[in-house]
Amino acid sequence: MRKLTIAVIAFSLLAMAGCIKEEVLNGDGKGGSEQQVSGDPAGDPAGEPSGDPASADPPSGTSAKKGNAFVFDVQDVPKLTISVSLDEWNRLLKAYDDNINTREYIHCDATFIKDNQRYVVNDSGLRLRGQTSRRRPEGAMGQEHGKEGFRRVHFGLNFRHYHKKDKKYDLKGVHKINLKYAKEDPTYIREHYGFDFLERQGVWTSQKTSWCRLYLHVEGDENPFYMGVYLMMEAVDDEYLEERSQFRSDEGYLWKCSWGSNLRDTDDWRFGAGEKPGGQYAYELKTREDELSTAKAQLVDFIKNLRDLKGSQFEAWIKQHCDVDLLLRTYAAFVALGHWDDYWNDMNNFYLYFDSTSKDDYKVYMIPYDLDNTLGTSHNCGVQTDSGRHDPFRWGIDECIFISKILGIGDYRLKYKEYLKAIASPGSDFLYENSVERIKAWHKLIGPYVSNDTGEDCSLRDRPASWSNHQEYRLIEDSPSNNWFRVKCSVLESL
């Protein structure tokens, strides 16, 4: 690789006023083609079809924002092009064939266009993501590139994967983005609504999200392939912790909690770090992985105390070791969203963060994660058959004791009820009129770019997922019997 450089190149526009500047944030990449970095003066990759929504000049604005505020900007739909060499793309396809749960990265170059500025991050890392939603990004098993068309899949883009602590590879201070397509969400907005609503409710552990127009360019293809509108999501990792000063420390233990994480049982198979052959751990350590035994001892001790302590002893312990108020705010919002695929009902889809490595002196935080199956996408799961009308005080299964034991304390139960009723009170961001105003604005923003080259998810529709057991729910269509916000508010008002 040639010597790393940082350059800003101004291009004169031939057919329009203003200019697009290119900032190369590092040196030559191993993964992408040279064509991708040297686009035409209008700021789009050479050869991109004219007339496509993404070929328009990026909206004018300011690039003064940095980090999350710049990348996760819900007022814009920036353009992200991922360029990959043919060999690297075929390596990703083979990795999937060998292990559908692969976490293997391939080399790529990323070009991000926003505010009339092109940011080039060479030699980034690209991987597949997803659990039950995983699928091959192109063709049939065993096929190499070019045999059949692309599919919309979830990606993870780590600008610094091959350069670890070298922040020259960051995109305006962001080193990792998760890219999620609107799988089984015809509205395209459920997950973004969820994290936005959590933040509006004072849940500062919520991830940042916004949309982009995603292109994939494999070496040798005449044009980049338009994958469509994707949700960009902040990764929950060490830098997520650093971004939030509310944590006492960002040097504690972070666990990703998947199916089986009931916070009751402590079988050894549930705990681990790194990739697990043939599946995933219920509790996977994501920071300080070389300290697994110490981190596990802390988590196991927390689980045993949560399970075994009773009465005033439990009340004093949970007050010391958990931000209970934040947890109650979080769960009130989960109930409003209809988040059934969660900890309480499905022992799944959350992170736990211990803000100290001490076994005795810490606070634990439940971090929201994976909110796509919400707002009327209901399912027969756990104790639930209708996430719109289910009792907020009996939201989940007996096996998951964390929330139910806290709600066994009178003051906490009252506080939880207060947060639930506030969500349905006059002026609330959750009310139908306020929710629909935001949803329509987001649809106006992303609507022109939804149609894509895969032929999948090419329109916006006010429907839940096709497999939802309550197909009647609507978000925009107004009816007291089937509008999600009307139905949920009636349930909360009656508490």
Is 18 a residue whose pLDDT tops 70?
A: no
Q: What residues pair up with 213 in beta bridges, in sequence order? A: 79, 229
The whole-chain average pLDDT of the chain stands at: 89
pLDDT for 20: 62
Is 45 a residue whose pLDDT tops 90?
A: no
Residues of the chain with pLDDT > 70: what percent?
A: 88
Q: What confidence tens digit (pLDDT) does each residue in 336-349 have? A: 999 999 999 999 99
pLDDT for 36: 30
Tokens of 297: 């001892």
As a whole number, mean pLDDT of residues 408-437 equals: 98
Tokens of 421: 């009723």
Is 34 a residue whose pLDDT tops 50?
A: no
φ, ψ at 487 (rounded to 5°) = -65, -50
pLDDT for 50: 31
How far apart CA 265 and CA 279 sit, in angstroms, is 19
Is 112 a residue whose pLDDT tops 80?
A: yes
Q: Residue 85: is it exposed, middle or buried by C-beta count within 10 angstroms (0-12/13-18/19+)?
A: buried
How far apart CA 22 and CA 44 sit, in angstroms, is 11
Which among 36, 128, 133, 48 is positioned nearest to 91, based on CA atoms? 128
Give the number of other Cβ atoms within 10 Å of residue 391's Cβ: 11
Q: Are strands 117-129 and 19-24 parallel, antiparallel or unpaired?
A: parallel
Tokens of 415: 């506080």
As a whole number, mean pLDDT of residues 25-45 equals: 40
| Candidate from 129-133, 304-308, 442-446, 483-487 with smallest mean pLDDT | 129-133
Q: What confidence tens digit (pLDDT) does each residue in 137-156 have? A: 999 999 999 988 999 999 99
Q: What confidence tens digit (pLDDT) does each residue in 433-459 have? A: 999 999 999 999 999 999 999 999 999
pLDDT for 35: 30
Give the number of other Cβ atoms within 10 Å of residue 111's Cβ: 26
How far apart CA 404 and CA 413 sit, in angstroms, is 9
Is 354 a residue whose pLDDT tops 90?
A: yes
pLDDT for 27: 55
Contact 215, 441 (CB under 8 A): no
SS3 per residue for the chain: CCCCCCEEEEEECCCCCCEEEEEECCCCCCCCCHHHHCCCCCCCCCCCCCCCHHHCCCCCCCCCCCHHHHHCCCCCCCEEEEEECHHHHHHHHHHHHHCCCCCCCEEEEEEEEECCEEEEEEEEEEEEECCCCCCCCECCCCCCCCCCCECCCEEEEECCCCCCCCHHHCECCECEEEEECCCCCCCCCHHHHHHHHHHHCCCCCCCCEEEEEEEEEECCCCCCEEEEEEEEEECCCHHHHHHCCCCCCCCCEEEEECCCCCCCCCCHHHEEECCECCECCCEEECCCHHHHHHHHHHHHHHHHHHHHCCHHHHHHHHHHHECHHHHHHHHHHHHHHCCCCCHHHHCCCEEEEECCCCCCCCCEEEEECCCCCCCCCCCCECCECCCCCCCHHHCCCCCCHHHHHHHCCHHHHHHHHHHHHHHCCCCCCCCHHHHHHHHHHHHHHHHHHCCCCCCCCCCCCCCCCCCCCCCCCECCCCCCCCEHHHHHHHHHHCC
Q: Where are the domains of the chain?
A: 7-180+206-240, 245-423, 432-493
Q: Are strands 117-129 and 106-114 parallel, antiparallel or unpaired?
A: antiparallel
pLDDT band at 427 (very low <50, low <70, confident <90, very high): very high
How far apart CA 204 and CA 196 sit, in angstroms, is 10
Contact 357, 302 (CB under 8 A): no
How far apart CA 196 and CA 114 sit, in angstroms, is 22
Is 62 a residue whose pLDDT tops 70?
A: no
Give the CA angle between residues 312, 317, 319 to the nearest 5°.
95
pLDDT for 23: 76
Q: In sequence order, which residues have a C-beta less than 8 Å from that of residue 62 and are 6 or more positions away?
A: 115
How far apart CA 78 and CA 75 sit, in angstroms, is 10
**Predicted structure pTM score:** 0.90
pLDDT for 19: 52
pLDDT for 64: 54
Which among 46, 29, 131 is positioned nearest to 88, based on CA atoms? 29
As a whole number, mean pLDDT of residues 242-271 equals: 97
Residue with tokens 């919520």: 206
Is 16 a residue whose pLDDT tops 50?
A: no
